Amino acid sequence: MTVTLYSVAQSIAQAILGAIASVLPPAGRGVASAPVVTGLAVLLFAAILLVASMLNTIVLIWFERKLLGRFMDRRGAMHVGFAGILQNFADGLKLARKDTVRPREADTLGFWTGPTAYLVTSLILFGILPVSSGWNSGVLPLSLLLALAIFSFAPLFIFVSAWSSNNKYSLMGGMRSAAQMIAYEVPLLLSVVAVVLVSGSFDLTTIVEQQQNYWYGGPLLLALIVFVAAMLAEMERIPFDLPEAEAELVEGWNTEYGGMLFAFFMLSDYVRALVGSYLVVLLFLGGWTMPTWVPSTLTSFPLAGIVWFMIKTYIVFGVFVWVRAALPRVRTDQLLRVGWNRMIPLALLSVVLAAGVVYAKCLPVFGCVPGLGG
């Protein structure tokens, strides 16, 4: 029997409820019934995911600050905690102490619901994306499709947040964000189609397991490039941060937000950056697996899958930071023109190349790969 994170949560829940039931009278011992154990196990599993995702997000922000400091020939955060590791906690406490002022003419429901839903839908993805073979129990046959569907809710909540704040700059930023995300979701999904064609599955666990001999980033290099570029646009990171252009729109769609609602937006952006890095690793870089030629001593130690997965994730995020430091912001018309006129043809070409891989089952350059193309 494979030990998974969910099975561990279930065992803990059973132990807790069993201990409670042992001190209760016979009439109250139904507290340890199967439905209650399952419910508590789900809550524990969600709590573990929330803590792990939040800690990773905080470390990710610190990692970007330090990496940008090196790119810009400066130190970065360094005074609060060792090497500035506690600076993000200090920033969070500062935002928590600030008041959230709602504009008088703003729509109350949309003003509060938008940033909250934006953060919640970003966090839900961590319950879907597998980090290792022992991360959860059961198989979601359409986990990739479900993750992309939840990821695509962001334009709606951003636009609702911008419109409800009753600010013209915010509304323009929200409209830019919606147009940008819609324009780049099409090539994003087409590049995913290339992976689905080669793997023959929408299940992320199956896609990872089929890359044990060969990572898809090799034969599907074009799809990888299109996916990374589209993901940068979806995450609104430089050079695609037009919805938050400070010189043009003050602060874009979150101009009227302060305090913890502003923190929700900033935290959601980094959560989505972490999710985007996860997806790149899962779809193109073998997930938690390593090639068969890697020595077994590097792949058989405890938690090896999670360790290798997180190393790949931080390398991918480092590339995102490198792009941010190297490229300037583009204009809105350039961004949309690239999205519709350049990215979509390249994504369609990647689908054609993936179909060729499936048909040939091997490539002359890379050699025949067992299991490639079904």
Distance of CA 175 to the CA centre of its chain: 23
Instruction: Look up residue 354 and give its amino acid.
Output: A
- When pLDDT is cut at 50, 70 and 90, the band that residue 354 belongs to is confident
Q: 237 in a domain, yes or no?
A: yes
- Of 14-28, 271-285, 318-332, highest mean pLDDT: 271-285
Q: 327 in a domain, yes or no?
A: yes
Q: Express each pLDDT in 217-243 by its tens digit.
A: 888 899 999 999 888 888 878 787 776
Does the structure show a pLDDT above 60 at 3? no
- When pLDDT is cut at 50, 70 and 90, the band that residue 210 belongs to is confident
Say if residue 355 is exposed, middle or buried (CB neighbours under 10 Å; 0-12, 13-18, 19+).
middle
Does the structure show a pLDDT above 80 at 27? no
Nearest to 313 by CA among 280, 289, 284: 280
Q: Express each pLDDT in 329-340 by its tens digit.
A: 777 778 888 888
Q: Express each pLDDT in 118-136 by its tens digit.
A: 888 888 887 788 887 766 5
Higher-scoring residue by pLDDT: 219, 23: 219
Backbone torsion region of residue 340, taken as left when φ is above 0, otherwise alpha when ψ lies between -120 and 50, otherwise beta: alpha
Nearest to 194 by CA among 5, 352, 361: 352
Structure tokens at 65: 């600050």
Q: 121 in a domain, yes or no?
A: yes
Give the global pTM. Answer: 0.83
Does the structure show a pLDDT above 60 at 248? yes
What's the domain range around 148? 106-368
Q: 98 in a domain, yes or no?
A: no
Task: Tell me if 39 sits within 8 A of 4, measured CB to CB.
Answer: no
Backbone φ, ψ for residue 329 (5° rounding): -70, 140
**Alpha-helix runs per DSSP H in 3-74:** 5-22, 34-71
Supply the pLDDT for residue 135.
Answer: 61
Residues 198 and 191: their CA atoms lie apart, in Å, by 11
Q: 299 in a domain, yes or no?
A: yes
Instruction: Look up residue 201 and give its amino acid.
Output: S
Distance of CA 258 to the CA centre of its chain: 24
Supply the pLDDT for residue 374.
Answer: 46
- Of 37-51, 301-315, 344-358, highest mean pLDDT: 344-358
Cis peptide before 239 (omega within 30 of 0): yes
Q: Are strands 367-368 and 362-363 parallel, antiparallel or unpaired?
A: antiparallel
Q: 40 in a domain, yes or no?
A: no
Nearby residues of 296 by Cβ (< 8 Å), 6 or more positions away: none
Nearest to 195 by CA among 234, 165, 231, 221: 221
Does the structure show a pLDDT above 70 at 33? no
User: Could you give the number of structural domains in the chain?
Assistant: 1
Q: 86 in a domain, yes or no?
A: no
Q: Express each pLDDT in 64-122 by its tens digit.
A: 888 888 888 887 778 887 878 888 888 878 877 877 777 788 888 888 888 888 888 88
Nearest to 282 by CA among 254, 310, 303: 310
Higher-scoring residue by pLDDT: 322, 23: 322
Supply the pLDDT for residue 370.
Answer: 47
Residues 152 and 150: their CA atoms lie apart, in Å, by 5
Which residues make beta-bridge pairs with 368?
Answer: 362
DSSP state of 82: G
Q: 131 in a domain, yes or no?
A: yes
Least confident of 86-95, 135-144, 178-187: 135-144
